[in-house]
Chain A
Amino acid sequence: MSYDFIIIGAGHNGLACAAYLAKAGAKVLVLERSARVGGGCHTEEATLPGFKHNLCSVVHTHIPTSPVYRDLELERHGVSYVYPEYLRATIFPDHKSIVMYREPERMAAELGKFSARDARTFTQLYADYAEFIDSTYLPLMYSPPLPPSLEGAELEKSDEGRTMLQWRQSTPVQLLNELFESEAVKVHFLTRMTVLGFPPDQHGQGWICLFRILTGEAPICVGGSQQLAQGLRNVVEANGGVVRTGMEVKRILLSGNRAVGIEMKDGSRIEAAKAVITNVEPKKSFLRMVGEEFLPPSFATRVKNYHAHGRSLFALHLALSEPPQYLAAARNAPVNMAFSQEMFGATIQDQVRAYQDIAMGKPPRKEMLQITLPTLFDPSQAPAGKHTTVVWQYAPYSVAPEGPAGWQKLRDEYAAHILDLWRSYAPNITKDKILGMAIQDPTDTERLNDNFVNGVDVVGDMTPDQMGYFRPFAGWSGYRSPVEGLYMCGGSCHPGGGVHAGAGYNAAGVIVEDHKLKKWWD
């Protein structure tokens, strides 16, 4: 049995890569250890029949505008999106709120309720940088990362570029303190960062903070997040590719320094005539499936030091008989209709302290809550008139002093505490409104997905030492590896975790170039 390419892992990046290669005429096999495809695109009836819960990704911010959606004609393959009118609502403990709008004028007006100066600053930032963000940040997600020297060289040429370089080095908190005066406005924008797992006080995150200030979208995959994976699978299979689930790869087979196939857990072998592509995180891919002895020592060291120690999420998946009604909506009605409601305290220091607690293994007792209710926008995800919601609270993977096992003792109490915190904002969610509940603590997140080591749902920390040119490792961010014919295509590669298929798309581009296949999409 032989294929041109074998892809290990049927997460959305693996499937996207496979789809591009299959459409290029290659013979492609995708192998998935679990019983389903999709990785973080995982929709399941986790509480009651008919209630579809998204166990990891809920929103696919970049997919509908990505080259992947266009090139693979995903809409024709059953993938479609709905767009909430109101994007996000930050709710403060005094029940004031800021709703996030796509239109800069409406956004500025919303910020103006807290500070006229901040509203003007936002408007000016939008005028100055929105086009830059759109013209650079997004295209760079869908191309291999630039070396820092090249980025710097272009920006060093002007005063404005040098300002951007300075901002890039700053922490989100530093940047927000430089730009805005209202604490509420700062909390709102800092939340845009921390919900993605970016620490609030980490240097080198300024650009991402600027991006998150100026852009926001919340496309919800109709039918649930899993539908994207299914659509990608449809493209692979429509182009002659094969996708097999329940197939655990044990080893990547080498001939000299060349990957030539894989060995399954049951001992069977499959040959890859051109290459093996791994969508599995680096430690499992290289230390377990290849073997350290076959790697250059410097590369093996980088693999061993790839880290996933950031915040994880404690999630409650709820089946509800009615949607939450927030007290904040009395003063700002769109709060109830926003894609998500985010409750992260009253000051930016609350978020900084929460991250410090998490680093110490202490699950925050204060609310660090993000709530989403996809059924408000896609009723197909629950029985008529009913709703599903996911309640996310920032949390550590390892609970002091017991470690990850500590969650077994803590999870029920913590779930009740989180619900109480939420009810202080949305008091109608009494016990009788909760028809069913599934608790997902950080150890469950890791169990659900091999790539979410330590429950970090972005496949390794998104820190400056593991982003862009440094993801996964400096010198190896171009989707190739030191083993010939072994490529990487997952969230451990640029542009990182999250559902955008950027890594799968970029890897496919490199692979067709290396193997002189037709790059049909460019």
Chain B
Amino acid sequence: MPQREARFTVNAPPEELWRFIRDFESLCTCIPGVERITVVDERTADLTVREKVGVVPLIVDLRAQIDSEDAPHGLHATAKAEHLTMAIDVTLQANGSGTELLALFDVKGEGQLKAIVDRLFERRATERTAQFADSLQQRFGAAAARDAPAQFRGGPGAARDRVGRITRWLNRLWRRLRGQFTPSGK
């Protein structure tokens, strides 16, 4: 199952970044290839994404759904199309004057086009993830390079970062638990 991870810092507080990524229409301005978006409800949107393979475009209709969220710390979303499912985990963390965004994309090709979807994601995901990071950093301004140069992981030949994923999952769980047991109002 192809995976990619992006970690970068933008020059905005977590709440501002959260409002942006939580709004499907604004978020999609930063996702490469999105041609059309129809918001279905607060947690669901239908997207049409065009990905060119050489000169030939592949046009994919997806339904994106936020499965769980912990404002303004993170969310888990799923995007499903006929031949693929993409799990997306986003975590926001205050970092100096900005916010570090960690996004983990996990794509699973399905059915008869599985081989093509997996191959295509392997080829394109690093580039598209970098474009996503670049768009957000352009919009909000990147934090100083010394703090947070964008980092991308995964891809052909990359060792799976199981320990890192478990650590991140524990961090998310910890934040959720902390959120449940910490009086609101901060």
Contacts and interface: CB of A to CB of B under 8 A. Distances in A.
B95 to A, nearest CB: 37
B118 interface: yes
A140 interface: yes
Given A131-B123, A144-B112, A160 B118 contact: no
A140 B56 CA distance: 17
Interface string B138-157: 00000000000000000000
B57 A136 contact: no
Contacts of B54: 127-133
B53 A131 contact: yes
Contact of A160 (B57, B119, B120, B123): B57
Contacts of A142: 115
Nearest to B120: A135
A147 B116 CA distance: 14
Nearest to A130: B54
A143 interface: yes
Contacts of B55: 127-129, 132, 160
A78 to B, nearest CB: 24
Contacts of B53: 131-132, 135-136
Contacts of A135: 53, 116, 119-120, 123
Interface in B68-127: 112-116, 118-120, 123
Interface in A137-154: 138-140, 142-144, 146-147, 150, 154
A503 to B, nearest CB: 15
B177 interface: no
B58 interface: yes
Nearest to A147: B112
A150 B116 CA distance: 13
A470 B59 CA distance: 26
Nearest to A137: B116
A161 B56 contact: yes
A164 B114 contact: no
Contact of A132 (B56, B113, B114): B56
Contacts of A131: 53-54, 123
Interface centre among B54, B116, B118 (most CB of A within 10 A): B54
B57 A158 contact: yes
Nearest to A143: B115
A142 B112 CA distance: 11
B59 A140 contact: no
A54 to B, nearest CB: 30
A143 B118 CA distance: 12
Nearest to A126: B54
A157 interface: yes
A139 B115 contact: yes
A139 B119 contact: yes
A146 B116 CA distance: 11
A155 interface: yes
B57 A161 contact: yes
A144 B118 CA distance: 15
B33 to A, nearest CB: 14
Contacts of B120: 135
Contacts of B56: 128-129, 132, 155, 158, 160-161, 164
A133 B113 CA distance: 15
Contacts of A147: 112
A164 B57 CA distance: 11
A73 to B, nearest CB: 16
Contacts of B116: 135-136, 139-140
Nearest to A129: B54
Contacts of A134: 119, 123
Nearest to A146: B112
A143 B111 CA distance: 10
A502 to B, nearest CB: 11
A269 B150 CA distance: 64
A161 B54 CA distance: 11
Nearest to A164: B56
Nearest to A128: B55
B55 to A, nearest CB: 4
A137 to B, nearest CB: 10
A20 to B, nearest CB: 16
24 contacts: A127-B54, A128-B55, A128-B56, A131-B54, A133-B54, A134-B119, A135-B116, A135-B119, A135-B120, A136-B53, A136-B119, A138-B119, A139-B116, A139-B118, A140-B116, A142-B115, A144-B112, A146-B112, A147-B112, A150-B112, A157-B59, A158-B57, A160-B57, A164-B56
Given A128-B56, A130-B54, 7 more contacts: A128-B54, A135-B53, A138-B119, A139-B119, A147-B112, A157-B57, A164-B56
Nearest 6 interchain pairs by C-beta: A139-B115, A128-B55, A143-B115, A132-B54, A131-B54, A139-B119
